[in-house]
Amino acid sequence: MDLHDLRREYLLGELRSADLGDDPHDQFAKWMKQAFEMEVVDPPAMTIATVDAHGVPSQRIVLLKHFDAEGFVFYTSYASHKGRDLDLNPNISLHFPWHSVERQVRVSGVAERLSVEDSQRYFHSRPRGSQLAAAVSPQSEVVESREALEAAFAALDKSTEGAGVPCPSTWGGYRVRASQIEFWQGGANRLHNRFRYTRDGLTWIIERLAP
């Protein structure tokens, strides 16, 4: 496959400073709403990047579950690869790749754990199957086989029949408090539109970046 001459123009929209709100969380809410209206596949799906103790970066896709002026929330196993990374270095990057509408959003910030109460409340709001899977999966660890996972799932399902699934102590949420948020809109002739919000105390500085 030869990708050398693969080209396409980005002509679906423009982004000007006059289009932007003062607060990037409000701008993100506007774009997220539009992503659903324009039927983007899985708008809350985001790539998150962390760094391990040796400075090696790692990326994976998780689902955004809540956002507001306080930050961006997702849930995972604290014992997973990303959980161990964040224990050592809470700096994190989020990326929303809305290719079909020629938009991207990048978030840089620091991840902090949610309270046990908030994590448990969300855990028990999930479908029972999702609760069971989170409880039996040693996320990021080597497992013997798919059959072993399914057997553990079935065993826990049976042992907790008629009762709630206990939330594992190693499972919970993170809130990412942003220090920078960038909005990218594709432009003709590769003159893409990029605006970066940078936190300055209680306010945000907005700057246009070169494509």
Contact yes or no for 75/87 (Cβ under 8 A): no
Write down the residue that tokens 């996320």 correspond to. 139
Token digits of residue 193: 């539109």
What are the tens digits of pLDDT across the range 161-170? 989 999 999 9
pLDDT of residue 11: 84
Beta bridge partners of 199: 204
Supply the residues annotated as catalytic: 190
Q: How confident is the model at residue 5 (pLDDT cuts 50, 70, 90)?
A: confident
Confidence of residue 1 (pLDDT cuts 50, 70, 90): confident
Q: Which pLDDT tens digit goes with each residue over 127-147? A: 999 999 999 999 999 999 999
DSSP per position, 82-117: HHHHHHH--EEEEEEEEGGGTEEEEEEEEEEEPPHH
Contact criterion met (CB below 8 Å) for 183 and 2: no
Q: Is the pLDDT of residue 151 over 90?
A: yes
Residue 160 has pLDDT above 90, yes or no: yes
Q: For residue range 40-62, what is the model confidence (pLDDT) as tens digits? A: 999 999 999 999 999 999 999 99
> 93 near 160, Cβ under 8 Å?
no
When pLDDT is cut at 50, 70 and 90, the band that residue 7 belongs to is confident
At the fourth CATH level, the homologous superfamily of domain 17-124+172-209 is Electron Transport, Fmn-binding Protein; Chain A (2.30.110.10)
Instruction: Report the Cα–Cα distance between both ends of the chain, in Å, rounded.
Output: 27
- Residue spans of the domains in the chain: they are 17-124+172-209, 126-166
- Contact residues for 56 (Cβ-Cβ < 8 A; gap 6+): none
pTM of the model: 0.94
